[in-house]
Amino acid sequence: MSTNNESFLTKYIFSTDHKVIGKQFIWLGIFFLFFGGYLSLLMRWQLAYPEQAVPWWLSWGIFFKDAGGIIDPDTYNQLFTMHGTIMIFWAVTPILIGGFGNFVIPLQIGAPDMAFPRLNMISFWTWFLSSVVLLASYLLPQGPAAAGWTSYPPLSSPMGGIPGEGQTLWTLALVLMGTGTIMGAINYIITVVRLRAPGMTYFRMPLTVWGLWLTSIMNAVFVPVIAAGLILLLLDRVLGTEFFVAGGLASGPGGDPLLYQHVFWIFGHPEVYILILPVWGIVSDLLAVFARKPAFGYKVTAICMSTICVLSSIVWGHHMYTTGMSPLLGKAFMFLTLLISIPSSIFFLNWLATLWKGNLHFEPPMIYTMGVVWVFAIGGLTGLYNATVTSDIYLHDTMFVVGHFHFTLAATLVLGLFAAIHYWFPKMFGREINRTMANIHFWVTFVSMNFVFFNMMVLGYAGHHRRLYNPMEFDFLKPLLGLNEWITWFAIINGVIQLLFIFNFVWSMFKGKVAVRNPWGASTLEWTLDAPLPHGNFAQTPTVYSRPHEYSHPSLTDTDWVPQSEPIPGTA
């Protein structure tokens, strides 16, 4: 609980209040969302206008050194390395897991705070330290990491030919980020297990909490795996060990660079679900709120999400079909990967059934949520081609893969976090976000990102390899230059419209219409509290009587919803 003599530092900087820490994570993530997005626009310029100077309105001057504004090959390698790393680990993860995990979980389960408030604070500042280390690599004479966001050895090893210590700082930053992630995961897991309000059984938890809780379990299991691999890579770079050095490069028996790929993807594929599970939960809840009916197949959706967590741990090999894997092993991974699409399809159909014959309210959170349904469908369906050995051998490492995972991760996650921001904004800041600006932002973002990512897959189907510095060096790719130019300009439109979002976000914090307690008519516990929310949340611990989606219940007469903390009229 807070005290009246809290200083500014303890209240807003080194706070142990989960809501303040959640906002800190969101601000950190928004900064990196824009920074990582800017890096992608520089890459797109190089692909559309190879070796032409970046125009003044797109160039900040810090990436090109003395090259006259032209992106050279080394800089291009740095751009796609840092873009992928930042967007996954420093943009989406802090907002969805650190931000909304912190803000939402205690409120929705009726808890006063996280189980370990000080550990929660330390988790954020460990993240912040990792951010400083990552950005510090830009100050090095030879720049940041350049071995790709996966950073496979030997390219990322001392023998890989990449000069400078940017790769070392990249590795250290990820180890620190993983440490902060594990702290948060432990906190989330124990908070859900131990601090649920009376009556809040597992199958009365909102599906948002289910998604964040399952994500935390997976983080606790799989982040130590990649942390171990990164520490071994760090030792190779700093102390001269040879865990991932083999062949003539090794001074002795050496190690195996392929081992790093296995370690990376044992974490890397569950990471897809670590990131997307919170969005699945948010989408499931928001569809029910704005369709004004209970979430269809609530228990089945929770069970499917849990099943996917288990299956995700045994499908990593589909990233490695082209590494010389045994055909029999490849067939096993293909079967398991295709199998995981079954529970995904089931809860996707539950989403459609929730919408079916619902009383749809097209508020800003709802349109972002329905955008998620669309882009996730495309991402999921196109993933089947990458899961199948025969088609993946052709499509592997092409722009088709880039388009697919940008639908699955970038589009799905970004629209999901926008849905979450617009939905919980009144509870976070006590004001409403401007709906006109939100609608404009959604439609421009939705149309432009679909154009960009779909046509990336078209490029890949035509044979356009990813990570090409200048695709025009290949005669068979020259006819695709026009499509690359169109993709780039739609990407620029997508980037510019995000300025409207940040303006709307900041302006609404101070000038937006004062929000009522429950503007959406939602039934979960956080909407029973008035903003600003006090440190400690609930004056009295609530008692939970129902599931989180009691809308349009037959016994309700004056309203179409009842909060979880009140009994449904006419029921025992």
Q: For domain 18-528, which architecture applies? A: Up-down Bundle (1.20)
Distance from C-alpha of 219 to C-alpha of 481, rounded to nearest angstrom:
41
Highest mean pLDDT pick, 140-149, 174-183, 553-562: 174-183
Contacts of 329 (CB under 8 A, 6+ apart): 317
Cis peptide leading into 154, omega within 30 of 0? yes
Of the ranges 139-143, 298-302, 427-431, 508-512, which one carries the lowest mean pLDDT score? 139-143
- Any idea what DSSP says for residue 61? S
pLDDT of 398 over the 80 cut? yes
| Strand partners for 431 | 514
Amino acid 159: pLDDT: 79
pLDDT, tens digit, 9 for 90 and up, residues 442-455: 999 999 999 999 99
Mean pLDDT of the chain: 93
Q: What is the pLDDT of residue 560?
A: 84
Residue 553, phi-psi category: left (phi > 0), alpha (psi -120 to 50), beta (remainder) = beta
Q: What is the mean pLDDT of residues 474-487?
A: 96
pLDDT of residue 240: 87
Burial of 32 (C-beta count, 10 Å sphere; 0-12/13-18/19+) = buried
Does the structure show a pLDDT above 70 at 531? yes
* Mean pLDDT on 479-495: 97
Confidence category of residue 1, pLDDT binned at 50, 70, 90 = very low
Q: Of the candidates 271, 223, 270, 263, which has an alpha carbon nearest to the alpha carbon of residue 243?
A: 263
Structure tokens at 322: 């082209």
For residue 300, what pLDDT band results from cuts at 50, 70 and 90?
very high
Q: What is the tens place of the pLDDT at every residue in 155-207?
A: 998 877 777 899 999 999 999 999 999 999 999 999 999 999 999 999 999 99
Lowest mean pLDDT among 49-58, 129-138, 221-230: 49-58
Retrieve residue 23's tokens. 């906002």
At 255 the three-state DSSP class reads coil
Kindly indicate the confidence band of residue 249, based on its pLDDT and cuts at 50, 70 and 90.
confident
User: CA-to-CA distance for 450 and 465, rounded, in angstroms?
Assistant: 20
How many CA atoms are closer than 13 Å to the CA of 357, on its beta-carbon side? 4
Residues 26-34 have a mean pLDDT of: 96
Burial 478-499 (b: 16+ CB within 10 A, else e): eebeebbeebbebbbbbbebbe
Q: What is residue 58's predicted lDDT score, i.e. its pLDDT? A: 86
pLDDT of 2: 46
Percent of the chain with pLDDT over 90: 85
The full set of domain ranges for the chain reads 18-528
- Predicted local distance difference test score (pLDDT) of residue 66: 53
- Looking up tokens 């219940």 gives 553
Q: Sign of dihedral through CA atoms 491, 496, 501, 506?
A: positive
Separation of alpha carbons 336 and 269, rounded Å: 13
**Tokens for 126?**
């460990």
Q: Which pLDDT value is given to residue 6? A: 73
pTM listed for this prediction: 0.95
Q: 50-79 pLDDT, tens per residue?
A: 999 898 888 865 555 555 688 999 999 999
Kindly state the average pLDDT of the residues 334-346. 95
Residue 322 · residue 395 · CB < 8 Å: no
